[in-house]
Structure 1
């Protein structure tokens, strides 16, 4: 009993001495539960050899979480942080190079636009100075009109066209500069018109010598200088075709002029002008939207219908101008199309339609003809082939062709300023021969030449310019 009592007394004495230095700590553990910690300082040791406690454990836990996050972020990098840094630097350098390249391109484009702007400003300034000069120039005195001599009146050259009291615009003779007296190029706006008309009448009308017959169907003797009627307004007019109906049908009169610009992916607009004067001014009275796209510059008009080749096909279309609808369509048998057998200038000119005194014609080639020109006379109503002729001249070796009085004529070059009409084929005799009639390409790129029966002239489209040529035919040979 005594030893037990002695032990209890020692415990009480120790407890009373330690209560003054004991502490109780309360806090949440790592799982979030409340935890009580009782701390009693050691009576024998002034310091522990190792430090620790809840704060240290919390720091260790947070460090463990950071290590896990770092390992997850760097888990996909095979080469570790250094490889990731190298790749990031490479990507930044590539983006910088692209930005520098784009900046250089923009700088170059800016410089080009500045040069163009400077050129335009210089042109505007030149035009302004020219306008001021023309405004300050005194008006020239008007030269009185000289009536035509009786010899000119009796020669038939001054005869009105279509029963009109005024001379037809296309019957005026060109002056030496190639301008018509009543239909000057749109760029020509100044000068004494009276002098120009007088010059055209006096110096350019050839005196009849009795050896020519310009009303019959003899062979072509000569082609006059080109007369410019209008320049196209935009790039769509670099190539085109223009025409008149020699047998016009109501509601359009005989003076109506038709035009198609043939550059573009949607070539289907047909412009109509009341007469040549309106064409020269650029004021169409009618614009028709064709139901099928047009191929190249081989279209023509005849008896109230437009005849043309459908794009990318050998199909011919007859479009009635009065009803504004397709009246007939038919494939031209075995004809090449879309660049198989064009003229030498290209332009998909595989099929060339034209009209003369004998009706409607098609000039083309076939694989059987091996690229040689084939001439076919067509029925104007059904587009059926009535008869065909095969020549000995390759279509791609000539620049263009036209038909007058059943005779095919070919032009040697479309770019040479001075070239020749070098070949003639007569369908009446089925014989061809070489010829050499001078012909001039005034603007160095002639893409369309056709005979106009209504005015007995050649119509042409030369590098944005609508031009015409006077003709002289020899006397018709007696059978």
Structure 2
């Protein structure tokens, strides 16, 4: 106990005012297990120095051992970072590929859904259509049955002599309509849809040249079965000449980069059945759906040019060609649906016309009346309506009419320009795009009908004109 007391005592000397020395002793409590730690300044200073020494030793030992390792760790981290970046780039690339594939599949899905909806509507229409009355079977020797099939080349009918007459350009193509090559004739006849167009009300509607009053419902004459028939142009010559009569129907499928085939049908019935009586191979390729027929000649725009060609049907040769001055071509000033419809040729009671635009007109519609023999421009009018803002146009009695939309099922004829007064105005005449993709509209002055090509379908519209106003 004495030893413990002597080890735990701490003496602190001090002087009083008389000069004597005094010593103060601290004795621990008997209940303490050991001497308490002193908190004097010397001990605190020692602790501080010991702490500094430990830090220095730690830095020396840790630094010497850690410097080589630090360099190796940096290299390893850089390598890992490079590998991670490569993996990230690969993942981003795969994600972009998957995104593109997803978008493609979504587009295909939308197309399939549209086709399914069209098939559903067609099925519903067929279900609602009443069945035709049953007719007795015709004997095999009946002339009625023979007239529904292709006539032999040695026959005496006008169709047979047209079929026997060879093409003068060495065309060896078949006279069979490519859209109707499959299946027996009897089956194909069931697919034809022929409806008569009702005549306009009142005899006054077919006389004079008043403004357009109304357009009837579309009547379907034929549906193409191949993709080549999605767009096209069909025509009847309002002033037909020999060897073809006024009932002859002509058709060109305009899908493709080298459109040259012209199909001729003896009448509308043969068109609906798909039995052409004449197939001509044109010497120059056709551009778009702007062709027309007039006085025994086919007028069309040559592909990728502003050149207009007059192709004589009787001689099967090019009778005239001429560039349409300053006309845009091959997508410069088309209608809103596209299709390289820069130059649209038309025929009405006053002759041959061209509807187009130029750089000078800045995309506005220009109307030119052409000489049907030489194709020379006789006179031109510049309108104030932009060509690419309308879906299509046609000319009746010297007046240009434009159609607002080529896809809307219920649209309007929204503008008319009268070349006689050189004035235009807005109108709102209802017009139907039954199949929602109308790529061609032309007027036939002999029959007072509009001829159109609407999404594989050949259709026509009866028109009604008002009385001509006296001058």
> Do the two structures share a fold, i.e. TM-score over 0.5?
yes
Measured in 2, the distance between the counterparts of 1:139 and 1:427 equals 48
* DSSP 3-state at the match of 2:271: helix
Name the counterpart of 1:240: 232
Q: Is the 8 A contact 1:245 1:256 kept in 2?
A: yes
Q: Describe the SS at the equivalent of 2:243.
A: coil
Pair 1:139–1:385, CA change in 2 (3 A): closer
The residue aligned with 1:455 is 447
Shift in CA distance, 189/319, structure 1 to aligned 2, threshold 3 Å: closer
Do the aligned partners of residues 433 and 271 (structure 1) sit closer, same or farther apart at CA in structure 2, a change above 3 Å counting?
Answer: same
Which 4+ stretches in 1 moved above 4 angstroms? Answer: 137-142, 185-190, 204-207
Give yes or no for the alignment of 1:289 onto 2:278. Answer: no
SS at match of 2:272: helix
Match of 2:261 among 237, 262, 269: 269
What secondary structure sits across from 1:345 in the alignment? coil
1:75-100 C-alpha deviation (Å, 9 max, x unpaired): xxxxxxxxxxxxxxxxxxxxxxxxxx
* From 195, 207, 219, the counterpart of 1:215: 207
Asked whether the equivalents of residues 301 and 307 of structure 1 are also in contact (C-alpha less than 8 Å), the reply is yes
Provide the TM-score with structure 1 as the length reference.
Answer: 0.59
Alpha-carbon offset, residue 265 of structure 1: 1.4
| Deviation of 1:206 (Å) | 6.3
1:315 corresponds to which of 307, 314, 325? 307
Hey, what's the Cα distance between the residues in 2 that align with 1:260 and 1:268? Answer: 8
Question: Structure 1 residues 188, 271: CA separation in 2 closer, same or farther (over 3 Å shift)?
Answer: closer
Alignment partner of 1:374 is 2:352: no
The offset of 1:308, in angstroms, is: 0.2
| Aligned: 1:301 with 2:301 | no
Aligned equivalents of 2:399, 2:131: Cα separation in 1: 52
Q: Are 1:410 and 2:399 matched, yes or no?
A: no
Alignment of 1:173-192 (within 5 A): none
**SS across alignment from 2:270:** helix
1:141 deviation in Å? 6.1
Matched with 2:326 is 334
Kept after mapping to 2: 8 A contact 1:246/1:302:
yes
Q: Could you tell me which of 439, 460, 463 is aligned with 1:468?
A: 460
1:369 Cα deviation after fit: 0.1
Say whether residues 1:441 and 2:430 are aligned partners: no
Checking the alignment, whether the CA contact within 8 Å between 2:441 and 2:452 is kept in structure 1 is: yes
Distance 1:471 1:434, change over 3 A: same
Aligned CA distance change for structure 1 residues 308 and 431 (closer, same or farther; 3 Å): same
Q: Deviations over 1:271-306 (max 9, x none)?
A: 000011100100000000000000000000111100
1:454 Cα shift? Answer: 2.2
Correspondence list, 1:145-164, <5 A: none
Distance 1:478 1:261 in 2: 42
Superposed CA offset, 1:290-346 (max 9, x none): 000000000001111000000000000000101100001000000000000000000
Distance 1:400 1:138 in 2: 37
Output aligned runs, 1:62-211, within 5 Å: 140=133, 208=202
Answer whether contact 1:186 1:230 (CA < 8 A) is retained.
no
Query: Runs of 5+ in structure 2 lacking a partner?
Result: 1-104, 106-111, 136-187
Distance change (3 Å), C-alpha of 1:251 and 1:140: closer
| CA deviation string 1:49-98 (max 9, x = no partner) | xxxxxxxxxxxxxxxxxxxxxxxxxxxxxxxxxxxxxxxxxxxxxxxxxx
SS in 2 for 1:213: helix
1:254-265 pair list within 5 angstroms? 254-265=246-257
Contact 1:414 1:445 in 2 (8 A): yes
List alignment gaps of at least 5 residues for structure 1.
1-111, 113-118, 143-184
Contact 2:238-2:246 at 8 Å conserved across structures: yes
Q: TM-score, normalised by structure 2?
A: 0.60
Q: Contact conserved, 2:218 with 2:459, CA < 8 A, in 1?
A: yes
Partner-residue secondary structure (3-state), 2:206: coil
How far the C-alpha of 1:233 sits from its partner, in A, is 2.2
Q: How does 1:12-31 map to 2 (within 5 A)?
A: none
